[in-house]
A and B are shown apart, each in its own frame.
Chain A
Amino acid sequence: MKPGALSEKILGGIFREAEKIGKEVKFMDVCGTHEDTINRGGIRSLLPDNVKVFAGPGCPVCITPVEDIVRMMEIAKQKDMVITTFGDMYRIPTPAGSFADFKAQGYDVRVVYSIFDSYKLALKTDRLVVHFSPGFETTTAPAAGMLAEAEREKIENFKIYSVHRLTPPAVEFLLKAGTKFDGLITPGHVSAIIGVRGWESLTSQYRVPQVISGFEPLDMLASIYMLLKMLNEGRVEIENEYTRVVRYEGNESAQAAINEFFEVRDAKWRALGTIPESGLFLKKEYEHLEIRNEVDAEVPDMPDLERGCRCGEVLRGLILPDKCPLFGRVCTPRTPVGPCMVSYEGTCNIFYKYSGLR
Chain B
Amino acid sequence: MCLAIPGKIVELRGNVAVVDYGGVRREARVDFIPDAKVGDYVIVHTGFAIEKMDEESALKSLEAWAEVLEGEQ
Contact = CB atoms under 8 A, between A and B. Distances in A.
Is A bound to B? yes
B2 A33 contact: yes
Interface in A25-73: 31-33, 36-37
B61 A142 contact: no
Contact of A244 (B15, B45, B61): B61
A124 to B, nearest CB: 15
B69 A138 contact: no
Contacts of A33: 1-2, 4
A116 B47 contact: yes
A115 B45 contact: no
A10 interface: yes
A113 B58 contact: no
B29 A32 contact: no
Contacts of B29: 114, 116, 142, 145-146
Chain B interface secondary structure, helix, strand, loop or mixed? mixed
Interface string A261-280: 00000000000000000000
A2 B27 CA distance: 33
B42 to A, nearest CB: 10
Contacts, number: 106
Interface residues of A, number: 49
B11 interface: no
Interface in A244-296: 244-247, 251, 253-254, 257
Contacts of B55: 244
B73 A189 contact: no
Interface string B28-54: 010111100000000101111011111
B23 to A, nearest CB: 19
Contacts of B63: 1
B3 to A, nearest CB: 8
A202 B72 CA distance: 30
A114 B43 contact: no
Considering residues A116, A214, A244, A251, which has the most beta carbons from chain B within 10 angstroms of its beta carbon?
A: A244
Contact of A251 (B32, B61, B69, B72): B32
Nearest to B68: A13
A114 B2 contact: no
A254 B32 contact: yes
A243 B56 CA distance: 11
Contact of B43 (A6, A86, A192, A218): A192
B70 to A, nearest CB: 7
A103 interface: no
A215 B65 CA distance: 16
Contacts of B34: 253
B66 interface: yes
Contacts of B43: 189, 192, 245
A142 B32 CA distance: 9
A265 B15 CA distance: 30
Interface of A: 1, 6, 9-10, 12-13, 16, 31-33, 36-37, 86, 113-117, 135, 138-139, 141-142, 145-146, 148-149, 187-189, 192-193, 214-216, 218, 222, 241, 243-247, 251, 253-254, 257, 344-345
Interface of B: 1-2, 4, 15, 27, 29, 31-34, 43, 45-48, 50-55, 57-58, 61-63, 65-66, 69-70, 72-73
26 contacts: A1-B62, A9-B66, A31-B2, A36-B1, A37-B4, A116-B27, A116-B47, A117-B47, A141-B32, A141-B48, A148-B31, A149-B31, A189-B43, A189-B50, A192-B43, A214-B4, A241-B61, A244-B57, A244-B58, A245-B53, A246-B51, A247-B51, A251-B50, A253-B31, A253-B32, A254-B50
Given A6-B65, A253-B33, 15 more contacts: A6-B66, A32-B1, A135-B46, A138-B46, A138-B50, A142-B45, A189-B2, A214-B4, A244-B61, A245-B52, A246-B51, A251-B50, A251-B51, A254-B32, A345-B1
